[in-house]
Amino acid sequence: MSVYLEIPEFDSNFQIRSFTNDGMTIVYPHWHKEIEIIHADKGHINIGVNNQVITVQEGETIFFASGEPHYFLASPNSERIVLQFDLSLLRENSLAQKDDRSLVEVFSQGERHSANWQAETARKVEQLVRQLHQTVNSSLEGKKYLVMADLYQLVSLYFHEIPKQSSTAVRTKSTNQSKDVLDQVNDAVEYIEAHYFEQITLGDVAEAVGFSPYYFTRFFKKNMGMTFVEFLREYRLNQAMFILANEDVPMTEVAEKSGFGSVKTFHHVFKEQMGISPLQYQKSLQRKMKSKIS
């Protein structure tokens, strides 16, 4: 299972990668500081984000800014192109003008789904994503120059043609975190991922990563934007929502697999956070999926 914080494996000197996944490649809830652009190359893909499922139809594109949690549900008979890159590639410190929005703002404020863009803008982005995918995976002479040329064209579209979201209440992680800090956060999250279905405590995680409970409390809140307890609850809820969307199992099993001590606790926490019961959530997802297929 993918960790909640994903650290993509890039060439150490050129932080961009592009690959394809089929629709049965399920990716658990995660976030990363890199920009991620996904293009539905064949069939439609179902992506969980902000407690809802977005269906990206064939030919459409969606992107996620730094720190936006998302996950992929099973989408049979589909294929997707995934492009990930670190904003540091774009040399913002030397190229940005005084009144320019930061690249973090540009991407976090942008409307993520191409279904809400002008058709010509969507076509341009698709063309650039396809070119980048091909070039990144090639051995062409001057490959990195070609990649950078396309990346700068892509960024110019996000500055000038991608519309802003109607509401930009997007929680983003800082992209200024050093790799050492990200590695430490990742160590903590990996421990949580391996033990979230147990009765773990803040002290357990702090000890596992070599911090005192006091320091770990402050470190975690600063770098994750929430307390350990809030994160663990949200992580377990994300696992539960993923299971409810992908598996047909009894609620006792959903509760056990997602780390809640009992069905009663699971039901209470889920309804408190989501406003509906787990069963109602599952049925609403099934109705939405059936209506989109038909």
What beta strand segments (E) does the chain contain? 16-22, 27-30, 35-42, 45-49, 52-56, 61-64, 70-72, 79-85
What pTM was estimated for this model as a whole?
0.62
Is the separation of the CB atoms in 193 and 133 below 8 Å? no
The pLDDT of residue 289 is: 66
Number of compact structural domains in the chain: 2
Q: What are φ and ψ of residue 216, in 5° steps?
A: -65, -40
Same domain, 28 and 155: yes
Residue 216 within any structural domain of the chain:
yes
- Please give the single-letter amino acid code of residue 119: A
Same domain, 94 and 190: no
Same domain, 96 and 200: no
Residue 111 within any structural domain of the chain:
yes
Residue 11 within any structural domain of the chain:
no
Please tell me the distance from the alpha carbon of residue 198 to that of residue 2, in angstroms, as a whole number.
18
What are 234's two structure tokens?
């949200």
- Single residue among 128, 160, 192 that ends a domain in this structure: 160
Count CB neighbours of 215 within 10 A.
Answer: 11
Tens-binned pLDDT, residue by residue, of the chain (294 aa): 333 556 677 766 788 999 999 877 767 667 777 899 999 999 998 888 866 788 999 999 999 988 777 888 778 789 999 999 988 889 888 888 888 888 888 998 999 999 999 999 999 999 999 999 999 999 999 999 999 999 999 999 999 999 998 764 444 444 444 456 666 777 887 888 889 989 999 999 999 989 999 999 998 887 766 789 988 888 888 788 888 888 889 999 999 999 998 999 999 999 998 889 999 988 887 776 666 555
Residues 6+ apart with CB under 8 A from 110: 63, 65, 158, 162, 163, 164, 165
Is the separation of the CB atoms in 3 and 186 below 8 Å? yes
Residue 255 within any structural domain of the chain:
yes
Residue 94 within any structural domain of the chain:
yes
Same domain, 233 and 108: no
Domain that holds residue 103: 16-160
Question: What CATH number is given to the structural domain containing 141?
Answer: 2.60.120.280
Count CB neighbours of 234 within 10 A.
Answer: 16
- Please give the single-letter amino acid code of residue 107: F
Same domain, 219 and 94: no
Q: Which of 176, 6, 169, 167 is nearest to 82 (CA)?
A: 6
3-state SS record for 76-115: CCCEEEEEEECHHHHCHHHHCCCCCCCHHHHHHHECCEHH
Same domain, 152 and 36: yes
Same domain, 76 and 127: yes
